[in-house]
Chains A and B, each alone.
Chain A
Amino acid sequence: AQSVAQPEDQVNVAEGNPLTVKCTYSVSGNPYLFWYVQYPNRGLQFLLKYITGDNLVKGSYGFEAEFNKSQTSFHLKKPSALVSDSALYFCAVRDKRTDKLIFGTGTRLQVFP
């Protein structure tokens, strides 16, 4: 069965500092991996995806993620955090047959001014 794990419930970072939100996956074969962000009382917004190709994927709002096959990880990163980045972040793997998404439990990012 496919799954993703987000080991941190919350990540705190000061504005202007780099941020990392961790995700590891368990998938047979090559994974299709995604990051989504959720603001309070809103649906999920797509940030970026890894399907194939370069291990460093660039996405929306200055976010990027690094696919690491040997460590089965897909960590989300941003060089300089903004207070407005404070939100709930979800890593997900996409089923290749049905396109359904299997989400992690989420990581709350808090950026302090």
Chain B
Amino acid sequence: DTGVSQDPRHKITKRGQNVTFRCDPISEHNRLYWYRQTLGQGPEFLTYFQNEAQLEKSRLLSDRFSAERPKGSFSTLEIQRTEQGDSAMYLCASSIPGVNYGYTFGSGTRLTVV
């Protein structure tokens, strides 16, 4: 494994369209996190999985957002009916539970809604 991979790196979409992002974590990491980062702000927690179970969702995650991790490996984040306010960098990270283990971020997917 070379790290956490995110695809695509950039996405431009028209308002109202649906988009889906993919994250491939480090293979032995059973926890996977999604964060959103808007310009000039720190990353904000959206949701996380332990294996295939989604254990927590932030209030930031409206009904238009859904995340899955079907087999406890890769994860997808879908945004339906995109709005201009969804424009942001979407970051994925993975870890093994426990603070002594690494927490690795991907390079992110930058979404621009026009």
Chain A interface residues (CB < 8 Å from chain B): 32, 36, 41-46, 49, 51, 90, 92, 94, 96, 98-106
Q: Which residues of A contact B33 (CB under 8 A)?
A: 99-101
Chain A: which residue is nearest B98 at the CB level?
A99
Alpha-carbon distance between A96 and B111 when the two chains are bound, in angstroms: 31
Q: Which residues of A contact B6 (CB under 8 A)?
A: 43
Across chains A and B, the number of contacting residue pairs, with CB separation under 8 Å, is: 62
CB pair A100–B45 under 8 Å, yes or no, is: yes
In-complex Cβ contact of A106 among B42, B45, B48, B105 (8 A): B42
Number of contact residues on B: which range applies?
A: 20 to 34
Chain B: which residue is nearest A95 at the CB level?
B45
Alpha-carbon distance between A103 and B103 when the two chains are bound, in angstroms: 14
CB pair B43–A99 under 8 Å, yes or no, is: no
Q: Does B41 contact A (CB under 8 A)?
A: yes
A100-B56 CB under 8 A given contacts A44-B43, A90-B43: yes
Q: Which residues of B contact A100 (CB under 8 A)?
A: 33, 45, 48, 56
Q: Does B108 contact A (CB under 8 A)?
A: yes
Which B23-64 residues sit within 8 Å CB-CB of chain A? 31, 33, 35, 40-45, 48, 55-56
Q: Does B13 contact A (CB under 8 A)?
A: no
Chain A: which residue is nearest B45 at the CB level?
A100
Would you list the 10 A-B pairs with minimal beta carbon distance, nearest first? A103-B42, A43-B105, A43-B107, A44-B105, A100-B45, A32-B99, A105-B42, A103-B43, A106-B42, A43-B108
Q: Which residues of B contact A45 (CB under 8 A)?
A: 105
Q: Which residues of B contact A98 (CB under 8 A)?
A: 48, 55-56
Alpha-carbon distance between A49 and B102 when the two chains are bound, in angstroms: 10
Alpha-carbon distance between A57 and B88 when the two chains are bound, in angstroms: 32
Q: Which residues of B contact A94 (CB under 8 A)?
A: 99, 103
